[in-house]
A and B are shown apart, each in its own frame.
Chain A
Amino acid sequence: AQTVTQSQPEMSVQEAETVTLSCTYDTSESDYYLFWYKQPPSRQMILVIRQEAYKQQNATENRFSVNFQKAAKSFSLKISDSQLGDAAMYFCAYRSAPNSNSGYALNFGKGTSLLVTP
Chain B
Amino acid sequence: DTGVSQDPRHKITKRGQNVTFRCDPISEHNRLYWYRQTLGQGPEFLTYFQNEAQLEKSRLLSDRFSAERPKGSFSTLEIQRTEQGDSAMYLCASSTDMWDETQYFGPGTRLLVL
Residues of chain A touching chain B, judged by Cβ–Cβ distance below 8 Å, are: 4, 33, 35, 37, 43-47, 50, 52, 91, 93, 98, 103-111
Closest A residue by C-beta to B43:
A108
B43 & A44 in contact (Cβ 8 Å cutoff): no
Contact A98:B99 (CB < 8 A) given known A44-B108, A106-B45, A110-B41? yes
Closest B residue by C-beta to A102:
B56
Number of interface residues of B (CB under 8 A): 27
Residues of chain B touching chain A, judged by Cβ–Cβ distance below 8 Å, are: 3, 31, 33, 35, 40-45, 48, 55-56, 58, 91, 93, 95, 99-108
Cα–Cα, bound, A111→B103 (Å): 18
A109 & B33 in contact (Cβ 8 Å cutoff): no
A110 & B40 in contact (Cβ 8 Å cutoff): yes
